[in-house]
Structure 1
Amino acid sequence: MMIELQKKLQKELKNNLSFWLNQGVKKDTKHFFSEVSIDGIPNKNAPLGVMYLSRILYGASAAYQLVKDSNYMELATAAFVQLLEFENPVGGYYWAKNTSNKILHDAENINMAQAFVLYGLLEYAKLKPSLQLDEIIKKQVDFITNTLYDLENSGYIDGFTENWILGEAPTKALGTHLHLLEAFVKLYEYEKTEKTKVLIEELITIITQKFITKDTYDCLHRLTPNWNVLTNEVWAGHNAECSWILCNAASNINNEKLLNECNKLSLKMMKGVLDNALDKNGGVFNVLQNNMPTETVKIWWVQAETVLGLLNSYKITNEIKYKNSAIELINYISRNCIAKSGEWYTEVFSNGQPNKSIPIIHFWKSMYHTIRYYTEVTKKLR
């Protein structure tokens, strides 16, 4: 059974990657379409975001390591070259550009994009290490730790202008902290310094102490600079994603105390996902209110992250129920979430039909959750 499952996942991965070679790239320029409809029609007027590019850089780099096809090396290099066009001369990288090359800015999410830039660069460095790339990586790390860090209250503060001046409504976001944690783990894998280990330990502590409720074990999405809770939604997807990323980070730095804490917390977070977000027709809802779903659709990334959260729970406990639930959700994804083109639908209704009004790739959806899903599931199901 497991061999057949692995074969199925490998086939899905290759089909998914083929989509990016055939429909995600402008053949004449090797630049990327940033939006493609469910019918395969590119929106040539859609803006291109640095987070979108960074995720392609990560996904194509990871893909090459998985399938050893030089096409993905070329895809990663094309993403790297285009990413450098977004470098901000005063530090970091711009949020996005429109088709007229005008800079677009998003004060609430720009820092999360900086995390993904670092994440993508580090994955690419596994393919093409160089002194130039090391310098680019170091520059981004220094920028993040020197500019985005809150010296007064700790953590990383959002709300900067395009020129990195803090605006009037600064906040602290789960997305920034969680994806910086991922990026710093990749940095630790790359260079194994004590300085990076300390950054990871601090981020794990901040996320577990500030961004997860003590009673329901739900993620909080946005706080004030001094850690007061702002208006919040409960997302099953972020609960699942956070649960396994925390454990992975603690494991990578071999901090047994933190790993033990994260393992216990992870199981509590995943219990809430299993109790409150599962659809009787298969799949997992995202937004919850009073322990009940508020949606009628299943979103692509939530399915992927829940599988990884379940497999992490199985790793912690060795309880077969978690593995069985993960396999059931993997099969649901295979049956319902993947288009004939190989790419995943953005949303699927409870009846199993895709939401055709939403593009199949777009500003927030490129080669991240799906490629990471195949990478991690392949490792965890061995």
Structure 2
Amino acid sequence: MIKLTEEIQQHLEQKILPFWMKLKDEQHGGFYGEVDYNLNIHKRADKGGIATARFLWTFSAAYRVTGKEEYLEHAHHLYQFLRDKLYDHKHLGIYWIVNYQGQPRDTRKHVYAQSFAIYALSEYYRVTKSEEALQLANEIYQLNEEKGYDEENRAYCEEFDQSWNPISNEMLSENGVVAEITMNTHIHVLEAYTNLYKANPTDELKQRLIDLLEVHYERIYNKDTKFLGVFFDKQWNSLVDMKSFGHDIEASWLMDETIKVIGLEDEKLDQMVLDIAYNIAGYAMQEDGSLINEQVDDQYDKTRIWWVQAEAMVGYLNAFQHTQDPIFKRLIENLWNYIKEHIVDKRENGEWYWSIEPNGNPTERTIGEPWKTSYHNSRFCLEFIERMNKQ
């Protein structure tokens, strides 16, 4: 595993991060918003709130793990753009989208986006000790709790207009339903609050994390099938028979990270983490080493999406560290070989393709855009480096 991790670190530092660093917008701030399939940079493309937060997290974490100053310089640059352009100083919270100059384009507020801002700002604080950044992270946390949390249903709401009036959840719904509660938002609230706890542990935040873990176990996780539900109505009724394999394996290690960070001892949660990992390993992994996307009713989407492969790498590493079961080591090795052979864009100046179609061809889709950034694959690399360094 050490040799594999050395290869992964080289890939991070020589392939992934240099690709994104070229997008630094020195004139208007942040990173350029789009790289098309032919690797053309669109300097006037919109810039996403989630994307900017994910870039800020990436370069803050890359500096924390590697100590390389060039990553910290990019983190400073991204922090300034998020603070000055993406934060709504009148109504509070992070905008969904701004234009290339940093002017508001889509002013809706989403709990998912706010959570990524908390995630990024807390990581930036961890490496800079900027009290301003921590204060902003805590302000958004309080906003999430005051505006975004439904105490009666123990659920985080989804989408709001600029002034924080609830609106239909268009941005995180799909498959013909509009969901009032989503698994996706809840796992990323958990992720964000866990990172905020690393930066600034408080008893209040610890209790929120315990409550969130219980909600995942009681409401989102299906104890019979070992899958997570995806879309729910306001009463936590599932809206569609859907299995999202990438989200499940991602959630398994994110929940485990929370359990470790807050020092929680709970056998049923520990078992859930491993049951999810074993379930996805047995149900959705393919002979070529890859993990397919999802299943709706009896229909499989066998697209191999970039982030799904990245999260599976971490999920199986986490499961291997818990169990030492060689099945997880084998899955990691086969998946990494698949990523190198198919997902990595071997063109000069390329990064990772969005996905590989079931026929084996790359999907001709943008390489960089509001939903595809440095976050998933950089994080998988950084998790391997950090976990192996601790051994």
| TM-score, scaled to structure 1 | 0.91
- What amino acid sits opposite 1:103 in the alignment? R
Partner of 1:70: 69
Unaligned ranges ≥5, structure 1: none
The aligned residue for residue 287 of structure 2 is 280
Two-structure CA RMSD over aligned residues (Å):
2.1
Which residue identity does 2:330 align to in structure 1? N
Cα offset, 1:194, TM superposition: 1.1
Flag the 1:79–1:293 CA change in 2: closer, same or farther, 3 A: same
Output the amino acid matched with 1:95.
W
Partners of 2:130 and 2:72 in 1: CA distance = 15
Residue 187 of structure 1, aligned match among 196, 220, 226 = 196
Q: CA deviation at 1:45?
A: 4.3
Mapped partners of 1:248, 1:291: distance in 2: 32
Task: Describe the shift of the 1:11–1:352 C-alpha distance in structure 2 as closer, same or farther (beyond 3 A).
Answer: farther
% identical aligned pairs: 27
Structure 1 residue 28, shift from structure 2 partner: 4.7
Matched to 1:370, the amino acid is: N
Counterpart position of 2:98: 97
User: Aligned partners of 1:176 and 1:247: how far apart in 2?
Assistant: 17
Partner of 2:386: 379
Superposed CA offset, 1:308-344 (max 9, x none): 1111221222211112211221222122211233622
Q: Secondary structure at the match of 2:63?
A: helix
Alignment of 1:114 with 2:114, yes or no, is yes
Amino acid at match of 1:26: D
* Corresponding residue of 2:208: 199
1: CA distance, partners of 2:108 / 2:18: 32
Unmatched 5+ stretches in structure 2: 170-178
Q: Is the contact between residue 276 and residue 293 of structure 1 (CA under 8 Å) also seen in structure 2? A: no
Tell me: CA distance 1:147–1:30, structure 2 relative to 1, closer, same or farther (3 Å): closer
Does residue 345 (structure 1) correspond to residue 346 (structure 2)? The answer is: no
Count residues in correspondence: 374
1:208 paired to 2:210: no
Q: 1:349 to 1:167 in 2, by over 3 A?
A: closer
The SS at the match of 2:142 is helix
What residue is the counterpart of 1:129 in the other structure?
A: 129
CA distance in 2, matches of 1:111, 1:30: 24
* In 2, Cα distance between equivalents of 1:303 and 1:350: 14
Pick from 165, 182, 191 the counterpart of residue 173 of structure 1: 182
3-state SS of the aligned residue for 1:279?
A: coil
Is 1:254 aligned to 2:263, yes or no? yes
- Match of 1:79, SS state, is helix
Deviates more, 1:164-173 or 1:180-189: 164-173
TM-score by structure 2 length? 0.89
Asked if 1 retains the 8 angstrom alpha-carbon contact of 2:45 and 2:99, the reply is: yes
- SS of the residue corresponding to residue 295 of structure 2 reads strand
What do residues 237-261 of structure 1 show as CA deviations (whole Å, max 9, x unaligned)? 011011111111111111111xx22
Quote the offset at 1:159 in angstroms: 3.2
The letter of the residue matching 2:318 is N
Contact 1:263 1:316 in 2 (8 A): no
Mapped partners of 1:17, 1:29: distance in 2: 21
